[in-house]
């Protein structure tokens, strides 16, 4: 389905809306693996995603009709596999920039790529690559944003939040989607043009707890540290009592 709502060149121009699907990432991945001729920038969005997937085998729960659950197809052949964290940075910065006009200050990116408002997660990103050699042939960027959901499961309610809980008002899902797509396109084109330093700075500028002393858990042990940077490979640097320590994904937990 072609759409004219988006003022972008390609991101979101081919928008496929599904009323119900297990996971928009699975759906898009299966189209790509069947070599369906999909243009770069294709977006699959679902009103109801009944088996949404999160990072590290977790699930992503979203009340039907209330939230944004969508997946975007990009073909960043210009990016080496080892540089894929740059795409993570570009996407999270784009989402932060699209959502902050609604929420105001308090919106940040929690390393590596969670979208946080104050101390609650309001959005997540799941990037899955289809690789050829050392290059990324296709990239499925799954994005979930809690928009108009008012309540969360008891288990989640201390950690998860939504834009509704900040504004006490509903937000139009399609207009937020267009804002996100347009910011993603700008960030992606910047990355493609090699203008990465600026993106990196934008990422660090809105990084949750950057430069602030906080407690972290590593292998069951609590350590105090201050984030001092994130490498181009996504490695987090913490200044601790024992000097600068570096951590890969999931090696450390925020508490």
Interacting residue ranges for ligand BTN, rule: CB under 6 A? 23-25, 49, 52-55, 58, 60, 69-71, 114, 124-126, 142-144
Shortest separation between residue 23's beta carbon and ligand BTN, angstroms = 3
Which residue, 44 or 191, is less far from ligand BTN as judged by CB? 44
Shortest separation between residue 116's beta carbon and ligand BTN, angstroms = 11
Shortest separation between residue 55's beta carbon and ligand BTN, angstroms = 4
Tokens 């084109």: give the residue. 189
Output the residue with the shortest Cβ distance to ligand BTN: 124
Which residue, 159 or 213, is less far from ligand BTN as judged by CB? 159
Burial of residue 193 (CB within 10 Å: 0-12, 13-18, 19+) is exposed
Which residue, 41 or 245, is less far from ligand BTN as judged by CB? 41
Which residue, 59 or 134, is less far from ligand BTN as judged by CB? 59
Strand partners, 20: 48
Cis omega (within 30 of 0) for bond into 112:
yes
Alpha carbon distance 140, 209 (integer Å): 28
Which residue, 44 or 79, is less far from ligand BTN as judged by CB? 44
DSSP 208-249: TTBTSEEEEEETTEEEEEEEEEE-TT--EEEEETTEEEEE-T
Shortest separation between residue 194's beta carbon and ligand BTN, angstroms = 28
Q: β-strand 107-110 against 52-53: which pairing, if any?
A: unpaired
Q: Are 65 and 169 in contact (CB under 8 A)?
A: no
Shortest separation between residue 74's beta carbon and ligand BTN, angstroms = 14
């Amino acid at each position: 389905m072609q759409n004219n709502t988006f003022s972008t060149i390609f991101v979101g121009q081919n928008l496929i809306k599904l009323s119900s699907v297990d996971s928009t990432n699975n759906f898009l991945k299966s189209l790509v693996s069947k070599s369906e001729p999909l243009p770069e920038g294709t977006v699959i969005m679902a009103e109801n995603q009944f088996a949404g997937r999160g990072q590290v085998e977790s699930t992503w729960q979203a009340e039907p009709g209330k939230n944004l659950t969508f997946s975007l197809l990009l073909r960043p052949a210009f990016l080496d596999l080892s540089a894929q964290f740059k795409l993570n940075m570009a996407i999270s910065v784009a989402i932060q920039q699209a959502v902050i006009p609604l929420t105001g200050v308090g919106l940040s990116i929690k390393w590596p790529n969670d979208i946080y408002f104050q101390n609650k997660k309001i959005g997540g990103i799941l990037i899955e690559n289809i690789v050829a050699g050392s290059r990324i042939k296709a990239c499925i960027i799954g994005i979930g944003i809690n928009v108009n959901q008012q309540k969360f499961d008891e288990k989640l309610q201390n950690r998860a939040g939504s834009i509704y809980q900040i504004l006490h008002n509903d937000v139009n899902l399609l207009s937020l989607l267009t804002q996100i797509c347009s910011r993603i396109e700008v960030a992606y084109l910047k990355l493609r043009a090699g203008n990465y330093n600026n993106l990196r700075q934008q990422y660090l500028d809105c990084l949750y707890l950057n430069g602030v002393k906080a407690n972290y858990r590593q292998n069951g042990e609590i350590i105090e540290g201050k984030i001092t940077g994130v490498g181009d490979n996504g490695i987090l640097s913490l200044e601790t009592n024992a000097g600068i320590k570096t951590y890969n994904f999931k090696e450390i937990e925020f508490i």
